[in-house]
Structure 1
Amino acid sequence: MVAAAQDVGDGRVEEVVKEGEEERRAEFCARCKEPLPLWASETPSDIDINFVRPAAAISGSSNNDLDTSMHTLPPSTPITYPISPVSDLIIHLPATTTTANGNTTVITHRYLVSSQILRVVSPVWRRHLDPTSPFRSLTTTLETISDRPHTLMTLYDDDPDTLLSVLNILHFSTSNIPITSINFGQLRSFAVLCDKYDCIHVLNPYSKVWLDEWAPVACEPGYEDWLFIAKVFGDGRNVKELERLLVEEAGSLSVCETYFLRCGRVVETGLMPEITLNKIMASRSKELTRQISIWRQFLQSFISENATKGCSNWDCVTLSYGNLIRSVEQSGLVKIFNLLEEWHGNIRDFEEKTGAIQLANGTRFHGYGWCPVENLNVGLRSKLGRPVDN
């Protein structure tokens, strides 16, 4: 290369250098896509869960050859609940349960109720039970109980105990209804059932007490389904606060988009309102993009433009450059800053990692109380501060 340079002269060498630089820049459409100076784009990041999108959820056994016939028990005797003394409808609800030794069995629940009451309280049930409805169920099975003909209506995927409680409330049999206290799982089940059959008003005499019990802890991990419960019951308490926390504490959606990790804990998204989930994920992505852009701009300027801005002490400058470069490499975020990887962890963990990146100054080298490099550090941290709206 040296001999070739001597043959063609200094002008040719300069031209070759410029062509190489142009080729490198042609790989990127704008400065924001250029690799950061001093760090190779292939620099590996740390092996860290934050750099990996959560895997798809496993549904069922992956061993298709496994014979499960020996683990499935025959259907048990149906459990019948005579809820209405003048019943004319049998609600048939099959439910699969797992015993303590791992066997599964189907338990059939039968609820003897009044079809007239169900038609009044629920437009969903009305469509299936009203003789004049075009959406009436095609099932016309009849069964005689106590010399009265009963129509049979089959429901699926409902919680048997929750359905029993709702039907008891509808038929004014409330002696076993929990009036003052209810666990969070039960509250969620009530919300699911009443939302499914559009009869949430049935719980009005009880729901306020239940919601008062759980609204204060809605922002704590494990209670993310409060977003669904609050929407169903029309209770706005702690909804915005929980949404803001999830923007900070939620990682990327899983590959199957059925869950995300909140500070290492799995949060299923099946009940989360779609518009709310999309809003949380969009806000999370926007904030991460904002912070990464600020870091990229800072590092580009500091390294390539000698942004020590007036510090004349070489020892101070050397310390600042070396400390910054080493800090960035130790953070494991080189590929993130080079836009070659995506941060799949939460914003708080990202801020913790970037917060450990140091920009030391050498005040002790030049003997006065404030170094110009510190102005850069203060300005960077100020820009990284999250807007109030977030």
Structure 2
Amino acid sequence: MTTFSTPSGDSPSTIIIDKRGDVILQVGGVDNGNAAVNLLVSSKVLMLASPVLDAMFDGRFMEGQALSNTSPPTIPFPEDNPEAMQLACKLMHMQTRDISDKLDLDALVNFAILCDKYSCSHGARAWGKVWVSQFLPGSDDTEFEKLLVVAYLLGLPYEFQQISIILVRHRPALENEDFAVYERDYIPSLVIT
């Protein structure tokens, strides 16, 4: 992973995901407690991977009108998690060499939420299976409710079933469980009941 600093001293360094990238995503920031990170990426790749980003960069909106390999514009994404966005962009750009086959549960939740937000879960399913599988043989004290949300958001039906079975076996009062992650329900109550 290559990084370079931007001219301004208080600007975040830029992580180059595509050296021929035509847009810089400035992700995170002071508002959500995450330090901002800049990601140099290809808008074409993002458009292929995500219908949400396709609409953003197809030229109808300001973000998609000044794309340039020589002077890429910086587009702010202040509400998104920098680590999750960097991981998603690496997957979209097929830059998987340094991606670990183990992921912390909170990082996995953030990644699944971001993939759901930008409708790009389909491209992350294989990696999602790898990351979720590290928790499945797990113990009772793992936070399976969060894992269930991850399996649902990434579209992993087999893993969702396996996690559901573990939850039913080890948590008899399932109907009283709260499946909210970060104070938001991601799984419709119809799926749980």
Is TM more than 0.5 here?
yes
CA shift in 2, pair 1:143/1:120, >3 Å: closer
Question: 2:16 maps to which residue?
Answer: 82
Structure 1: gaps of 5 or more residues: 1-74, 99-103, 260-266, 280-390
State the AA in 2 paired with 1:199: C
Counterpart among 78, 81, 86 of residue 156 in structure 1: 78
- For residue 205 of structure 1, report the CA deviation from its aligned partner: 3.8
TM-score normalized by the length of structure 2: 0.74
Partner of 2:47: 119
Counterpart code for 1:239: S
Corresponding residue of 1:190? 111
Whole-Å separation in 1 of the counterparts to 2:48 and 2:141: 38
What code does the residue aligned with 2:51 have? P
How far 1:121 sits from its partner (Å)?
0.7
SS of corresponding position for 2:72: strand
CA shift digits 1:307-363 (9 cap, x unpaired): xxxxxxxxxxxxxxxxxxxxxxxxxxxxxxxxxxxxxxxxxxxxxxxxxxxxxxxxx
After superposition, what is the alpha-carbon deviation per residue over 1:2-36, rounded to whole angstroms, capped at 9, x for unaligned?
xxxxxxxxxxxxxxxxxxxxxxxxxxxxxxxxxxx
Deviation at 1:186, TM superposition (A): 2.0
Q: Does 1:273 align with 2:187?
A: yes
Q: Aligned partner of 2:71: which letter?
A: P
Aligned positions of 1:298-313 closer than 5 A: none
Q: Are the equivalent residues in 2 in contact too, given 1:122–1:197 (CA < 8 A)?
A: yes
Alpha-carbon distance change, 140 to 171 in structure 1, aligned in 2, over 3 angstroms: closer
From the superposition, tell whether residues 162 and 218 of structure 1 become closer, same or farther in structure 2 (CA, over 3 Å).
farther
Deviation at 1:127, TM superposition (A): 0.9
Displacement of 1:201 in angstroms is: 2.4
Are residues 1:94 and 2:28 paired? yes
State the match for 2:148 in structure 1: 227
Check if 1:172 corresponds to 2:94. yes
Change (3 A) 1:277 1:95: farther
Judged with a 3 Å threshold, the aligned counterparts in structure 2 of structure 1 residues 231 and 143 are, in CA distance, closer, same or farther, namely closer
Offset at residue 272 of structure 1 (A): 4.4
Q: 1:313-352, aligned counterparts within 5 Å? A: none
Q: Would the alpha carbon gap of residues 206 and 227 (structure 1) be closer, same or farther in structure 2, given more than 3 Å must change?
A: closer
* Residues 172 and 232 (structure 1), Cα distance of their counterparts in 2 relative to 1, 3 Å cut: same
Q: CA deviation at 1:151?
A: 3.5
Larger CA Rg, structure 1 vs 2: 1
Query: How large is the RMSD of aligned CA atoms in angstroms?
Result: 3.4
Pairing 1:337-376 to 2, within 5 Å after superposition: none
Residue 5 of structure 2: aligned partner: none
Report the TM-score, using the length of structure 1 for normalisation. 0.40
Shift, 1:240, TM fit: 4.3
State the Cα distance separating 1:188 from its structure 2 match. 1.4
1:86, distance to aligned residue in structure 2 (A):
0.9
Residues 168, 174 of structure 2: 8 Å contact kept: no
Q: Equivalents in 2 of 1:182, 1:252: separation in Å?
A: 25
Amino acid at match of 2:135: W
- Compared with structure 1, are the counterparts of its residues 118 and 76 closer, same or farther at alpha carbon in structure 2 (3 Å cutoff)? same
Partner of 1:108: 36
Contact 1:218 1:242 in 2 (8 A): no
Partner of 1:239: 164
Give the residue type in structure 2 aligned to 1:149.
Answer: S
Task: Indicate the residue corresponding to 1:130 in structure 2.
Answer: 58
| Structure-2 residue corresponding to 1:206 | 127
**8 Å Cα contact 1:218-1:238 kept in structure 2:** no
Say if 1:225 and 1:271, in contact at 8 Å, map to a contact too: no
Tell me the amino acid that sits aligned with residue 238 of structure 1. I
